Amino acid sequence: DQRFLYILSPKTGGESPTELQYQTVDVQIGASSFTDGIANTDKMIAQGASSPAGQFCSAARSALLGGYNDWYIPAPYEFYMLSHINSYMPVEEQMSGEYLTSREEGSNRFISFNVNDGSWSIYYKTTSPRRVRLIRKIHVSEFVPA
């Protein structure tokens, strides 16, 4: 059973305060999933300092943002799913504009997602920084309402 609940990070600590590069070097890392942001993000983190976006996520995991260490950068499909609930979130937590997704396109490009209009764009990894917003997911069977 593949039913998950996606949890958007709080803006403080979970959204980069500045735009970040996907990578600082043009290297294909195998982060090619449209649906598995965890696998993509783990590949970004493994790049160390050459992936500023991956480093941001790694820092949030280490800091136990919200008490959790399983934050990641969404894949395009996951961002699409989250964009449908954006208007239901408190205004101060809503997303706006373009965000970097964890999916790369070959050695030198990545996919971004525009929350405002639901569009995708492809940009160069080293010269087109975008904001990062982290998410986590839990299996529906793990959800226990408060």
Q: How much of the chain, in percent, has pLDDT values that exceed 70?
A: 99
Name the maximum alpha-carbon separation found in the chain: 45
pLDDT value, residue 37: 97
- Contacts of 32-35 with C-beta under 8 Å, sequence gap 24+, read 32/103, 32/104, 33/75, 33/102, 33/103, 34/75, 34/76, 34/77, 34/103, 35/75, 35/77, 35/78
Provide the percentage of residues in the chain whose pLDDT is more than 90: 80
Question: Which residue has 């490009």 as its token pair?
Answer: 109
Query: Which residues are CB-contacts of 69 (< 8 A; sequence separation ≥ 6)?
Result: 61, 62
pLDDT band at 82 (very low <50, low <70, confident <90, very high): confident
Cα of first residue to Cα of last residue in the chain, in angstroms, is 24
Structure tokens at 123: 């940009």
Asked if the model's pLDDT at residue 86 lies above 90, the reply is no
Identify the band that residue 1 occupies on the pLDDT scale cut at 50, 70 and 90. Answer: low
d(CA 123, CA 142): 36
Is the pLDDT at 54 greater than 70? The verdict is yes
Amino acid 5: pLDDT? 86
Structural tokens at position 90: 């408190």
> Residue holding tokens 């800091």?
63
pLDDT value for 146: 67
Which H/E stretch holds residue 101?
strand 98-105
Task: Say which residue, 110 or 2, is predicted with more confidence.
Answer: 110
